[in-house]
Amino acid sequence: MRGFIAVPLQSLDKMSPLFEQITREHEKTAKSVSPDQIHITLRFFGNIDDTNASKISQVMERINFQPFRVRAESVGQFPSRGLANVLYIKVYSPEIYLLEKTISKALSLEGIPEEKKPFVPHITISRFRKPEDLKNIMVRFGNEKFTDEICNRLIFFKSELTSGGPHYDIIKEIQLK
């Protein structure tokens, strides 16, 4: 199974115009995340077996972290220049870096190696079947403020890629307190 740990978001109203423009301009090539499944990925595992899924669930039970504030504003793309494969919203929160480090350290103690790439907090909005020119979206939403909210949950998700976009099921959820 494919899995990841994420912080879910609640205040999504201001994202509607972004999804509408993606649908209008890139309907045939975009696979967007369903608005009710918007989240900030803290750690992506790719394919994991049942043993590691169990270890991840156990690590989550031991996470002790307080709720924290997150601001999501402006859009970005991967790669950062030229045609894009991914559209995302930038995330700002000093605490999210500390939470990611806390999780990574706890996972490494269970034999799950730390991520080699640097952590870049973001909200994936769409993936594209072929690289796309997103200039119109970048101009319109480059300075948009999407949400400013308190995050108080942490979720271990199972991810299934479908033709209509990704679908996520909750494996383990904890409250931050």
Q: Which is it for the CA torsion 101, 109, 172, 18, positive or negative?
A: positive
pLDDT at 10: 86
Q: Where are the beta strands (DSSP E) in the chain?
A: 2-8, 30-32, 39-47, 68-78, 84-92, 122-132, 145-151, 153-162, 165-175
Given a contact cutoff of 8 angstroms between Cβ atoms, the answer to whether 39 and 123 are in contact is yes
pLDDT tens across the length of the chain (177 residues):
999 999 999 877 889 999 999 999 999 999 888 888 899 999 999 899 999 999 999 999 999 999 999 999 999 999 989 999 999 999 999 999 999 999 999 999 999 999 988 999 999 999 999 999 999 999 999 999 999 999 999 999 999 887 776 789 999 999 998
Instruction: Tell me if 22 sits within 8 A of 77, measured CB to CB.
Output: no
pLDDT at 12: 76
Q: Taking the alpha carbons of 148, 150, 154, 155 in that order, is the dihedral positive or negative? A: negative
Q: Which residues pair with 31 in a beta bridge?
A: 127
- Dist. CA 168–CA 177, nearest whole Å: 24
- The pair phi, psi for residue 36, each rounded to 5°, is -80, 0
For 47, the 3-state DSSP assignment is: strand
Q: In angstroms, rounded to a whole number, what is the distance separating the alpha carbons of residues 15 and 13?
A: 5
Residues 6+ apart with CB under 8 A from 96: 7, 40, 42, 68, 70, 121, 151
pTM (predicted TM-score): 0.90
List pLDDT tens digits, range 43-86: 999 899 999 999 999 999 999 999 999 999 999 999 989 999 99
Domains of the chain: 2-175 (3.90.1140.10)
